[in-house]
Amino acid sequence: MIGGNESCTAGPIPMSYLTCLTYILGEWTGVEHIEDYLSYAVYLLWVLFPLAVVFLLPGVLVILFYVSILLLHIYKRKNELKEAYSNDFWDGAKQMLATLWDGHGRIWHGYELHGAENIPEGPGLIVFYHGATPADYVYFMARLLIQRKRYCHVVADHFVFRLPGFKILLDVHGVMHGPKEECVTALKKGCLIAIAPGGVREALFSDEMYTIIWGNRKGFAQVAIDAKVPIIPMFTQNVREGIRTLGGIKIFRSLYERIRLPVVPMYGGFPVKLRTFIGEPIPYEPNITAEELTAKTKAALQALIEKHQKIPGNIFRALMERFQTQKKED
């Protein structure tokens, strides 16, 4: 057996394995003093490794989504004989995925849900601020299902329905395209629906100042008026510090406006503290207009942000909050 410092050649000059490898690479590539280039490459790898990590960590959420999809396919295969005899075929799968996502939220972010008592027993429209990813909403949905056995549908952007493999996940969770008529019908049936009026634009181009980017969108308000349901504002503390985007770079904003796809790079995946706060419901008023209700909802959401979020957001502070033992009061 040859040790690490023993010769790897039978020549007159003994060489270590590393020296031998360097020699072989030099002979193969024809590059003189290749060991200098290798040393420089190792140095660059050492310097750039932390940067690579912060861009790769958001991919964990993508992996979790596809793990969820795989589990749904397995669940369907194992229970397809029961499908003909059950009206709640996917209930077990929903509970399973809720446990998976709630576990991730607890372990990675110490996730907390405050104000769940503000959610009415009947139908309601939850309006929330959109972070760079919808992870905080998924944590909320999972916690709500586990604690209160209540399910919440969500309105998603059209591009989500074109993601490969996502169809079964969207179907099982009743994710909606968002036509007003579909939302009104679901609310009249007693469903709870969540929507982020800022959508992808708010997700990509808001920043640590937590600016609400709704533009002229007021369709959600008209839906609440037509369905005669309350609006419930919701905000997650530190959602911008968990994952951030490079939306401040103008070229990415221009590219998005052209193709309307979320092509803006993201970085982070930091284990910051996440707390979701649910505000008091805005009750249905028969004589209110969509414009007035939109302004009222925006003011209520802004009040939640000002109350529970230190602005500008700070990643280091959010990380420290993650490891504080005392919970923040409502």
Q: Reduce the DSSP state of residue 320 to 3 states and report it.
A: helix
How far, in Å, CA of 36 to CA of 64, rounded? 41
User: Is residue 282 a contact partner of residue 297, using CB atoms and an 8 Å limit?
Assistant: yes
Instruction: Please tell me what DSSP assigns to residue 329.
Output: P
Which residues have a Cβ under 8 Å from the Cβ of 249 and sit 6 or more positions away?
Answer: none
Kindly state the tokens that stand for 47.
């310097």
How far, in Å, CA of 307 to CA of 309, rounded? 6
Task: Return the amino acid letter for 182.
Answer: E
Instruction: Please tell me what DSSP assigns to residue 52.
Output: H
Q: Reduce the DSSP state of residue 126 to 3 states and report it.
A: strand
Q: Which residue has the tokens 């230190």?
A: 310
The helix (H) or strand (E) run that includes residue 234 is: strand 231-237
Angle (nearest 5°) at CA 86 between 83 and 92: 85
| Active site positions, annotated | 130
259 burial level (CB within 10 Å; 0-12, 13-18, 19+): exposed
Alpha carbon distances (Å) from 310 to 120, 205, 232, 253, 313:
29, 19, 22, 26, 6
Q: Reduce the DSSP state of residue 157 to 3 states and report it.
A: coil
Kindly state the tokens that stand for 262.
């979320």
